[in-house]
Amino acid sequence: MAFKTLGAKAAAALDKELMSSGAFSLDQLMELAGLSVSQVVYRVHPITKGPKILVAVGPGNNGGDGLVAARHLRHYGYQPTIYYPKRPKNELYQRLTKQLEDLNIPFVDDFPDALKSADHVLDAIFGFSFSGEVREPFPAVINAMAETKIPVTSVDAPSSWNIEDGPPSEGVGSNFHPDVLISLTAPKPLVKHFKGLHFIGGRFVAPSIAKKYDFDVPEYEGLDQIVEVEAAGQKL
């Protein structure tokens, strides 16, 4: 089956619905999203390939998903390192950060330098709400991810990509093509431009809500929070 995509406005409305009539808290949604992200990393990059995961964290909810994923990865036995240059004052993000500090997970200020010793990169900078230009200090980070030979997994959207139209035609991110993408809840229209390994994660949506927003809930197996689909939207 081909999976229907969810545009930026619909994705934002869905989030509001999940937190109102759906009765989820933002903490819950972020925890479930981050858990699914951690399972993708575990699937595509077993710890035997190298334990060092560099997590690039943005200032919004996409970054929060990355912080949660890093905590789970640490408990799986990986050695995550966090690049988190723009930290919001919001209490939720402060708690997620404290949880990582309590696990002695290092935070670094120099992304290109940290990249030299990484085995895998998790791109949790910008999600479906991103639009406009990439502001400092992220242009150099996205360029570094575009140029590295180290595999990159992006959360919900490759950072800098337009949710509808995919990679920018020029400038920052125009040559950024991550190896792996995990679409949260449902794929976004940009997936038609994505050629790597594609997963859907977010095993919590009620059928009634999926029907209202006209997207498909994939068939998750066993304990899995993720399902692999072809980049073109076909299930493998």
Query: For residues 71 and 12, which has the higher predicted lDDT (pLDDT)?
Result: 71
Whether residue 166 is annotated as binding a ligand: the answer is: no
Point out which residues pair with 121 in neighbouring strands: 54, 152
3-state SS class at 101: helix
pTM, two decimals, is: 0.95
Whether residue 27 is annotated as binding a ligand: the answer is: no
Whether residue 61 is annotated as binding a ligand: the answer is: yes
CATH topology of domain 8-229: Rossmann fold (3.40.50)
- Residue 191 CB neighbour total at 10 angstroms: 22
Whether residue 199 is annotated as binding a ligand: the answer is: no
Whether residue 127 is annotated as binding a ligand: the answer is: yes
pLDDT tens digits, one per residue of 85-136: 999 999 999 999 999 999 999 999 999 999 999 999 999 999 888 877 899 9
Whether residue 129 is annotated as binding a ligand: the answer is: yes
Question: Among candidates 7, 40, 20, 25, which has minimal Cα distance to 179?
Answer: 40
Place of tokens 């081909």: 2
Radius of gyration of the chain (CA): 16
- Write out the DSSP string of 215-232: -PPP---TT-SEEEE-TT
Whether residue 7 is annotated as binding a ligand: the answer is: no
pLDDT tens digits, one per residue of 151-168: 999 999 999 999 999 999
Whether residue 160 is annotated as binding a ligand: the answer is: no
Query: What sign results for the dihedral spanned by CA atoms 95, 100, 106, 109?
Result: negative
Whether residue 107 is annotated as binding a ligand: the answer is: no
Region 223-231: mean pLDDT is 89
**Alpha helices, DSSP H, located in the chain:** 8-19, 26-44, 61-76, 91-102, 111-115, 138-147, 207-212
Contacts 24+ apart (CB under 8 A), 173-176: 173/134, 173/142, 173/146, 175/146, 175/147, 176/142, 176/143, 176/145, 176/146
